[in-house]
Amino acid sequence: MTKAKKDSLDEKVAQKAQKIDKKKSEFLIALKNKNGNISEACSATNVGRRTYYNWLEDDETFKQDAEDAQESLIDLAESKLVENIKDNDNTSIIFFLKTKGKKRGYIEKQEVDTTIRPISEIEFDGI
């Protein structure tokens, strides 16, 4: 292969990489704008789901950025939950205590009697 052909090929590879990086950036913006919805981000950027999952597997930086975009939705939900708690919304308060207050005893427990009794003690009259 001549040097000119190799240089031309290298330039094409570089251009393709830039195009892919641009597409990834567009996708990440769409993912954040679509509140972490992968299908909507794919549609908005004309990226196939398989391409998205390939990017996740092949590009650690992209994977981290995609996770960050989806985490931002969780942050939003948590901030709304706190707003509801401040507004004395009982459902939000109970939910928060059941999930974040477990260490302090805010947990629902079911008691199950696992006592084994001999068959002679079991009453079969009502059956």
DSSP letter (8 states) at residue 125: T
Domain range summary for the chain, segments of one domain joined by +: 3-105
Under 8 Å between Cβ of 67 and 26:
no
Cα separation, 89 vs 96, whole angstroms: 11
Along the 127 residues of the chain, how does pLDDT read in single tens digits?
666 655 555 566 567 667 778 999 999 999 999 988 999 999 999 999 999 999 999 999 999 999 998 888 888 899 999 999 999 999 999 999 988 888 888 877 766 777 876 766 667 676 6
Distance CA 65, CA 56 (A): 10
